Amino acid sequence: MEENLAKKRLYSAVQPTNALTIGNYIGAINNMVALQDEYDCTYAIANMHAITVRQQPAQLRANTLSVLALYLACGLDPQKCTLYVQSHVPCHAELAWVLNTFTYVGEMERMTQFKDKSAKHADNINMGLMDYPVLMAADILLYKADVVPVGIDQRQHLEICRDIAVRFNNVYSPTFTVPEGIYPKVGAKIADLSDPAKKMSKSSENPAGTIFMNDGRDAIIKKFRRAVTDSDGEVRYDPENKPGISNLLSIYTVFTGKSVAQAEAEFAGRGYGDFKSAVAETVADALAPVQAEQARLLADKGYLDSVLAEGARRAYKTASSTLAKVYRKIGFYQL
């Protein structure tokens, strides 16, 4: 598959840290699969971003292949989209350095995620943690992305990317495509089962509130049964007054394809126990074939490596073209 000029370009990336969650599946992977037919998609496994927080090297390598296998198991087609590992394309780091010279320290210090991660990792407030949005901007701009799927917690990063692109274009004439955000409306934010006020996170300190994509059936059912709800007993979508039940309804509707109204009618007059069990069984049933296919793919490392090698080739072709253009604009002498 070569670059498809008839379609708009889309870029997205996920870090290979910890196991991915159903929140990642609902908010990102599900949409990625749907978007691969509509856009010319480039999907990265962002291992360079991952090391802003200390990682176990062997685990990071294993997680990288695990994410790729999960992507494929969920329906991403390497013939339709470009799948690659960020560090396999050196242009990311090279462009990030240039973009650093168009980014102000104050802008980075104001980033909400930098403040949050600095608080969580006070013993390792490194420059990579602060510079994360500039590398993200390089990721997006290298591939001339027209659109970027954006979660609620990444809006600031897309805005700084746009600012940097416009700033560079104003100095050196139009060079970068200024990307627009795509904001998923359904399942954009799946909450923690133990604390519905928090987003479900793969790095949560309390794994009991997180459904991981590799959780076994018993673990899934146990976690849903313990999910925090409320005392009125009515299955009704009301995020403000019933955040726990509303979160479970969101999960149920995504995995069944039913509307909220249909789900509410289905469980009218039934207790929370029945509802939680139904959500648990539905999720476990949906994940079982994905987990089996992921395991099959992980047993075929040669195939996974071939997908990444071809993905890196395609990605480098586009990224190196963009970088060469940037280098010409800023005056770097090139051989």
Q: Which is catalytic among the residues 117, 144, 242, 276?
A: 117
Architecture of domain 207-295: Orthogonal Bundle (1.10)
Best CA proximity match to 200, nearest among 273, 251, 133, 274: 251
pLDDT recorded at residue 214? 92
What is the domain class of 9-183+300-330 according to CATH? alpha beta
Q: Give pLDDT, residue 281.
A: 97
| 291-330 tens-digit pLDDT | 999 999 999 999 999 999 999 999 999 999 999 999 999 9
Helix axes 155-172, 301-330, angle to 10 degrees: 40
- Euclidean distance between CA atoms 212 and 18, whole angstroms: 9
> Cα angle vertex 209, ends 255, 252, to 5°?
15
50-55 long-range contacts (CB < 8 A, ≥24 apart) are 50/15, 50/16, 50/17, 51/128, 52/117, 52/126, 52/128, 52/129, 52/132, 53/17, 53/117, 53/121, 53/124, 53/129, 54/124, 55/17
Helices marked H in the chain: 22-24, 30-35, 47-50, 57-74, 91-100, 105-109, 112-120, 127-142, 155-172, 217-225, 243-256, 260-266, 272-298, 301-330
Q: How far apart are CA 155 and CA 225, in angstroms?
A: 33
Average pLDDT over residues 205-216: 90
CB atoms near residue 197 (< 10 Å): 9
- State the Cα–Cα distance between residues 248 and 104, nearest whole angstrom: 42
Identity of the amino acid at 288: A
Is 28 in contact with 12 (CB distance < 8 Å)?
A: yes
pLDDT in tens, 160-198: 999 999 999 999 999 999 999 987 655 457 899 999 988
240: which DSSP letter? T
What is the CB neighbour count within 10 angstroms for residue 267? 20
- pLDDT tens digits along 113-146: 766 666 666 676 778 778 889 999 999 999 999 9
pLDDT above 60 (res 65): yes
Query: Which of 80, 189, 198, 202 is an active site residue?
Result: 202
Distance, in Å, from the CA atom of 314 to the CA atom of 80, rounded to the nearest integer, reads 12
Name the DSSP class of 25: I
Does the fold of domain 207-295 match that of domain 9-183+300-330?
A: no
Question: 199, 223, 242, 276: which is the annotated catalytic residue?
Answer: 199
Rounded to whole angstroms, the Cα distance separating 38 from 8 reads 8
- Rounded mean pLDDT of the chain? 90
Domain boundary assignment for the chain: 9-183+300-330, 207-295
* Per-residue confidence (pLDDT) for residue 248, from 0 to 100: 95
185 in catalytic set: no
Q: What is the pLDDT of residue 314?
A: 98
202 is catalytic: yes
- pLDDT tier at 112, thresholds 50, 70, 90: confident
